[in-house]
Amino acid sequence: MSILVPFKAIRPQADKAEKIVSRPYDVLNSEEARAEAEGNPISFYRVIKPEIDFPVGHDEHATEVYQKGAENFKSLMDQGVMVQDDKENFYAYEIKMGDHVQTGLVGCCAIDDYFNNNIKKHELTRPDKEEDRKNHVRYSQVNYEPVFFSYPHVDDINVIVNKYKQNQPLHDITTIDGIRHKLWVIDGQEDIDSIQLLFDKKVPSIYIADGHHRTAAGALVGKEFREKDSGTSNNGKRYNYFMAVLFPDNELKIIDYNRVVKDLNDLSEEEFIGKIEASFNVEKVSGQAKPGKLHEFGMYLNGSWYKLSAKDGTFDDKDPVGVLDVTILSNQVLEPILGIKDLRTDNRIEFVGGIRGLGELEKRVDSGEMKVAFAMFPVSMQQLIDISDNDMIMPPKVTWFEPKLRSGLFVHDISE
């Protein structure tokens, strides 16, 4: 079963939260973060992407950059714009995007649950990105950003969370993208104990939704600190845990994660479509071809949209990975027709989050930058869970969760 513990969150003062919070480190590049933080000395980008305080082109993985992030965080504490709660609590974090609302529990998961695979993974991590996040934890001894987890929903947990949501929130801000973020403290000791017990008794596994590199960094650095201090067993120190927001699986929204390709691998458009017709029913449509169900794809080529429907025999519906639409596209189009064998390294393919809409695919193709675009039907939470439970790995760039968490609303000090 699963371990979830409360913690003394470090949070912004209420009147400073809107200026402090930022998007997660991995949804924008350094120059975008530099632009968003311009004129704002307390932006959390200066903590999670501290390279923006150095000249353009400075090595973002240099020692002094990680040191600067830790210094900037300490400065927020020294100025009193971020303060630490005086007792260990859980927190309820609600995010509202349009009509969609999801509420997560903010707490800390055990590094041992990561290593014993009770925290289920569905992606491979890149060593360079993992090392980058590990260095942030090493230099600061802080979990700057939470990881985004899901768990099989438990009604009794929802009852406790909803009780606290009747109170005035600690923070209630609407960010520039129109998304509303609210935070409540869950501070009643009986309720804290109940939540811990419910996770122990009723939550068999926790699933990484977004943040495999942050999860690995939190667990691996915690293990480093533990082994340096006392060996391999949990000694009660905070580095035995890392910060997470855990959402019930029935509240999450996964949107499409689309593909754009730079060329047709020396094929004419007619030849390309002819080869696709071996595996798909192809229909030219008048408007945008947004997929409406599994095994249906949209394709944009030379100003026209096509609806592609995978034929029987092009996928294995008994294989949790083989049944994925991204697998069908790779096995039937990207690899055999377009010659794209490794989605992680081939620079002829790029990925576009569905939050940008199908208009972004049209833009990329119409500009001449890309030759063809593929619109995908979103992966379901059940598909993610099936793959994770079978200890399988999803192909790259499959899940895009919206809305995103905001960074800087809560921080976990692992030095205690």
Map tokens 């002829």 to a residue: 348
Q: Is 165 strand, coil or helix?
A: coil
Hey, what domains does the chain have and what are their CATH numbers? 4-253+402-413 (no CATH), 257-377 (3.30.1760)
What is the reported pTM? 0.88
241 Cβ contact list (under 8 Å, min separation 6) = 5, 7, 108, 109, 110, 111, 222, 412, 414
Cα dihedral sign, 47-49-55-61: positive
What would the mean pLDDT of 154-178 be, rounded to a whole number?
96
178 Cβ contact list (under 8 Å, min separation 6) = 97
Q: What is the pLDDT of residues 207-266, one digit of tens each?
A: 999 889 999 999 999 999 999 987 777 788 999 999 999 999 999 989 999 999 999 999
Q: What is the pLDDT of residues 278-323, one digit of tens each?
A: 999 999 999 999 999 999 999 999 999 999 999 999 998 889 999 9
Which token pair is 409? 């609303």
The Cα–Cα gap between 300 and 279 comes to: 17
| pLDDT interval class at 204 (50, 70, 90) | very high
